[in-house]
């Protein structure tokens, strides 16, 4: 199931549940509001943890025979879900992993499989998909800005005093790891990951 579909399975029950296991990038990283849509999104990380606790369904797995401990996966993971020392086997923290696949895109040994057990193919840096934002439809809610761990998206500055036609802009392609969390989190569904 796609990440955004998982978000939509959340009910108010879960929102109020004390079983949420918030990680470092939850809560403080995303602004919670009273709006139903945003509230669902704001707790998406926590929900992911609940899924793990219920059976570890969603996670990336590193093949211990192939991993050379180069640390590239650890460096790109947007939620710090990978641990490991240089030249030693790396492991995925299944309670944090969002199955975004960014780790697999950079692994030189193609040692990482996704939550369905499919090998994640390495992708050349210049061929990684990047977010394309429909700025005309953007409400400037800032959810994409808040969720990006690499500061790739910014809200455009107002052009004059009182200008309310501001919108999200993808401004830093160099640090984007193609995790697609911005695409998943946008409540208006106006971000599309596009590649070469």
Interacting positions 72-91 with ligand SF4 (CB under 6 A): 76-79, 81-82
**Of 52, 51, 48, 40, the residue nearest 16 (C-alpha):** 40
Token pair, residue 54, equals 């219920």
Q: What is the DSSP letter of 30?
A: S
- Told to check if 128 binds ligand SF4 by CB under 6 A, we report no
The one among 148, 158, 171, 192 contacting ligand SF4 by CB under 6 A: 148
* 4: helix, strand or coil: helix
E strands present in 27-100: 61-62, 82-83, 91-92
Using the minimum distance from each CB to ligand SF4, give the nearer residue, 47 or 152. Answer: 152
Using the minimum distance from each CB to ligand SF4, give the nearer residue, 16 or 84. Answer: 84
The one among 150, 158, 165, 195 contacting ligand SF4 by CB under 6 A: 150
- Told to check if 143 binds ligand SF4 by CB under 6 A, we report yes
Using the minimum distance from each CB to ligand SF4, give the nearer residue, 20 or 169. Answer: 169
To ligand SF4, the closest distance from the beta carbon of 140 in angstroms equals 5
Q: What φ, ψ does residue 94 adopt, rounded to 5°?
A: -70, -15
**Of 105, 108, 122, 118, the residue nearest 177 (C-alpha):** 105
Interacting positions 4-63 with ligand SF4 (CB under 6 A): 60
């Amino acid at each position: 199931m796609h990440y955004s579909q998982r978000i939509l399975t959340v009910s108010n029950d879960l929102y109020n549940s004390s079983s949420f296991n918030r990680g470092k990038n939850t809560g403080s990283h995303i602004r919670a509001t009273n709006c139903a849509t945003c509230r669902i999104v704001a707790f998406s990380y926590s929900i992911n943890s609940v899924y793990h606790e219920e059976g570890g369904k969603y996670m990336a797995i590193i093949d211990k025979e192939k991993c050379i401990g180069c640390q590239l996966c650890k460096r790109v993971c947007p939620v710090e879900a990978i641990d490991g020392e240089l030249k030693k086997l790396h492991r995925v923290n299944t309670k944090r992993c969002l199955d975004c696949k960014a780790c697999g895109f950079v692994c030189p040994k193609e040692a990482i499989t996704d939550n369905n057990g499919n090998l994640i193919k390495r992708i050349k840096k210049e061929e990684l998909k990047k977010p394309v934002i429909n700025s005309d439809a953007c409400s400037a809610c800032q959810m994409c800005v808040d969720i990006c761990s690499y500061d790739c998206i910014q809200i455009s500055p107002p052009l004059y005093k009182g200008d309310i036609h501001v919108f999200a802009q993808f401004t830093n392609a160099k640090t984007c790891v193609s995790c697609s969390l911005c695409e998943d989190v946008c409540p208006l569904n106006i971000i599309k990951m596009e590649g070469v």
